[in-house]
Amino acid sequence: MLYLQPENFLQKKMEILLKKKIKEAVNFLYNCDVADNLIQIQETRKDFTGDFTLVVFPLLRFSKNTPENTGETIGNYIVDKFHSISGFNVIKGFLNFEISNSWWIDYFASMAAQESPLDKCKAVKPETVMVEYSSPNTNKPLHLGHIRNNLLGYSLFRILSSCGHNVIKTNIVNDRGIHICKSMLAWEKFSNGETPESSGMKGDHLVGKYYVRFEKEYREQISKLVEGGMDEAVAKNAASLMTETRDMLLKWESGDPEVYELWKMMNSWVYAGFDETYKKLGVDFDKIYYESETYKLGKELVVTALENNILYQNEDNSIWADLTGEGLDQKLLLRSDGTAVYMTQDLGTAVNRFNEYHFDKHLYVVGNEQNYHFQVLTAILKRMGYEWADGLIHFSYGMVELPEGRMKSREGTIVDADDLIVEMQETARDVSLELGKLADFSVDEQEDVFRKIGLGALKYYILKVDPKKNMTFNPAESIDFNGNTGPFIQYTYARIRSVFRKAEQLGISEDYNSIFDVKAGQKEIVLIKLLRRFTQTVNDAATGYSPALIANYSYELAREYNQFYHDFSILGENDPVVRNFRLVLSKVTSEVLKSAMWLLGIEMPERM
């Protein structure tokens, strides 16, 4: 198999040679020795012609001339003395070098000899990194927002792992609290004993049904109280459903057997449903934590911090953190009745995880509406003396909306994850059959391809967007076989694989040794330059926590290969050396595309 040479090594190899020649040029032209730190070489920006750029300004002290003239003089010397440089241009104080085609061919030959495109994507300092994603509540099924969360978290795991970090995939299930009791109370009141088996519904869907039912009945109670003259804010607390829900939470925290058994039964339904959805989505976890367990440690931490005068207690016995000195606010940590809030369990979970794994960094994949929450979490932990809290990172991502607006769980207007996965596969089926691409496939083969295309479309459409931005999900756009979509990249990969199946039928195989003999055209060189960027793109995605960089790189590479495929014959090329070179170039492209999409959690069909 063919894979990419490590970017760092190859780029530094050229940088070393260039630096040596530039020092030689300065010494010859200006009779001066120049320190290494004054020779600043970087990759040429995309909007300029060139491959590597020398920043000329630090060298003006030797030339005593303008940046443009200095760049021209040094450029002429380098082109004359260094044959791997084929040309140059000067833009103000920047000297852009163009690398010769022969150097790129040598470069490509070294790429083709590598074991894996991901083996050399190594971090400068490998760390233990915990990535928390999913974080569902057990009062409703997973929805489109959870899909973005899970896909981002799982892709971050693969990207960071590929760069040599020790990554622990974790999930915190929010299985206790007032919102869970709402579903429990509604089921108790309105279900007539309905179960997943009796209803034929997935367990998480059934529980979610009663969460929506609670909100409907609760709003009706509030409306009646308001109609009777009560203030709305007072009515929200006085409504009997809310009073009963608070009582149920108190009973749960005190270990009431009847409430606890109801909680266990309904949560078991939800977990079975979650597992089914996670399997369909292709994500998993190394360790799952439960708020019902971690909140206890959180309460202990809060009480201890109160005893040490780190926190304060109100007259109603509620416990608070005063963070005004950190530019934040005052934060409730234990209610007056002694029940815990969400922050309480997050404190316990963080300490529990650090004690267990001693992570260097902890990424919380949580939507941007929780930005303030994580500022507070870090501030409280540091105040409690946990300096490792500096390693807590909120991977803050934007919300997913639909063309018709934002989803609302309480009103039941969410896009269910299971329904969406089925819809994507059905859309993939309709589009594929209309295009007639799978006519010679068996039924099972077709269904497997539909699954890969549907999930590939969903995952790519979500992951190609900058995680920090809000996004609108449009299922119809995501399936397009010709745009910036997962199916377009999958089809490009399948197209390359078909070339090799045909080559095998013709008895043609790749010969890596003859690559050096080829005279490549500009289209091939552009592809090689794009392939060179893969490893650096992965490293950038790891340091910047952005799967979108890999997604958009994949599209750029697939689009460039398709242009090459359209303009040049591969197996029909008469010159065996050129034909072989194009075969090897195609092979490397296919492997890089496959590796890039693997980092996004996307499977690549061999045939489409």
**What is the number of domains present in the chain?**
3
Q: Are residues 284 and 159 in the same domain?
A: yes
Identify the pLDDT of residue 119: 65
Is the pLDDT reported for residue 160 higher than 80?
yes
Residue 1 maps to a domain: no
| Distinct helix (H) and strand (E) counts, the chain | 21, 14
Q: Are residues 431 and 397 in the same domain?
A: no
Instruction: Provide the mean pLDDT of the chain.
Output: 92
Identify the pLDDT of residue 461: 95
Q: Angle formed by the axes of helices 486-505 and 576-599, to 10°?
A: 140
Take residue 92 and report the two structure tokens written for it.
């103000």
Beta carbons within 8 Å of 269's beta carbon, 6+ residues apart: 195, 196, 203, 204, 206, 207
Q: Are residues 375 and 435 in the same domain?
A: no
Residue 112 maps to a domain: no
Domain end (from 401, 416, 442): 401
Q: Are residues 239 and 318 in the same domain?
A: yes
Identify the pLDDT of residue 124: 72
Beta-carbon count within 10 A of 5 CB: 21
Phi, psi angle pair for 366, to nearest 5°: -140, 145
Per-residue pLDDT tens over the stretch 63-119 = 999 999 999 999 999 999 998 999 999 999 999 999 999 889 888 888 787 777 676
Take residue 470 and report the two structure tokens written for it.
């809000």
For the full predicted model, state whether its pTM sits above 0.85. Answer: yes
CATH at residue 191: 3.40.50.620
The dihedral through the CA atoms of 30, 33, 38, 40 has a sign that is positive
Q: Buried b vs exposed e over 447-483: b needs ≥16 C-beta within 10 Å?
A: eebbbbbbbbbbbbbbbbbebeeebebebeebbebee
Residue 165 maps to a domain: yes
Per-residue pLDDT tens over the stretch 327-342 = 999 999 999 988 889 9
Upper half-sphere CA count for residue 277 (Cβ side, 13 Å): 27
* Arithmetic mean of pLDDT, 261-275: 97
Distance in angstroms (rounded) separating the CA atoms of residues 417 and 555? 26
Identify the pLDDT of residue 102: 87
Domain end (from 75, 99, 123): 99
* Arithmetic mean of pLDDT, 226-233: 95
Identify the pLDDT of residue 410: 46
Would you put residue 249 in left (φ > 0), alpha (ψ -120 to 50) or beta? alpha
Identify the pLDDT of residue 510: 83
Per-residue pLDDT tens over the stretch 521-557 = 889 999 999 998 998 899 999 999 999 999 999 999 9
CATH at residue 514: 1.10.730.10
Can you give the residue range of the structural domain that contains 151? Answer: 133-401
Domain end (from 385, 401, 417): 401
The dihedral through the CA atoms of 524, 529, 533, 535 has a sign that is positive
Q: Are residues 30 and 174 in the same domain?
A: no
Beta-carbon count within 10 A of 509 CB: 10
Q: Are residues 440 and 589 in the same domain?
A: yes
Distance in angstroms (rounded) separating the CA atoms of residues 392 and 365? 11
Phi, psi angle pair for 333, to nearest 5°: -120, -30
Residue 415 maps to a domain: no
Identify the pLDDT of residue 440: 82
pLDDT band, residue 511 (cuts 50/70/90)? confident
Q: Are residues 87 and 164 in the same domain?
A: no
* Arithmetic mean of pLDDT, 360-372: 97
Residue 300 maps to a domain: yes
Tokens 């915990």 locate to 130
Identify the pLDDT of residue 264: 97
Is the pLDDT reported for residue 242 higher than 90?
yes
Q: Are residues 392 and 443 in the same domain?
A: no
Residue 185 maps to a domain: yes
Q: What is the DSSP string of 290-354?
A: EHHHHHHHHHHHHHHHHHTTSSEE-TTS-EEEE-GGGT--EEEEE-TTS-B-HHHHHHHHHHHHH
- Helix %, strand %, coil % for the chain, to 5? 60, 10, 30
Tokens 């010859």 locate to 28
Q: Are 323 and 330 in contact (CB under 8 A)?
A: yes
Distance in angstroms (rounded) separating the CA atoms of residues 551 and 485? 9
pLDDT band, residue 405 (cuts 50/70/90)? low
3-state DSSP call for residue 332?
strand
Output 17 or 356, whichever has higher pLDDT. Answer: 356
Q: Are residues 383 and 451 in the same domain?
A: no
Host H or E run for residue 459: helix 443-463
Q: Are 588 and 529 in contact (CB under 8 A)?
A: no
Per-residue pLDDT tens over the stretch 190-213 = 999 999 999 999 999 999 999 999
Identify the pLDDT of residue 6: 39
Q: Are residues 145 and 63 in the same domain?
A: no
Residue 370 maps to a domain: yes
Q: Are residues 236 and 343 in the same domain?
A: yes
Distance in angstroms (rounded) separating the CA atoms of residues 163 and 480? 32
pLDDT band, residue 481 (cuts 50/70/90)? confident
Q: Are residues 275 and 349 in the same domain?
A: yes
Per-residue pLDDT tens over the stretch 581-602 = 999 999 999 999 999 999 999 9
Take residue 457 and report the two structure tokens written for it.
């479309």
Residue 149 maps to a domain: yes
3-state DSSP call for residue 533?
helix
* Arithmetic mean of pLDDT, 182-187: 98
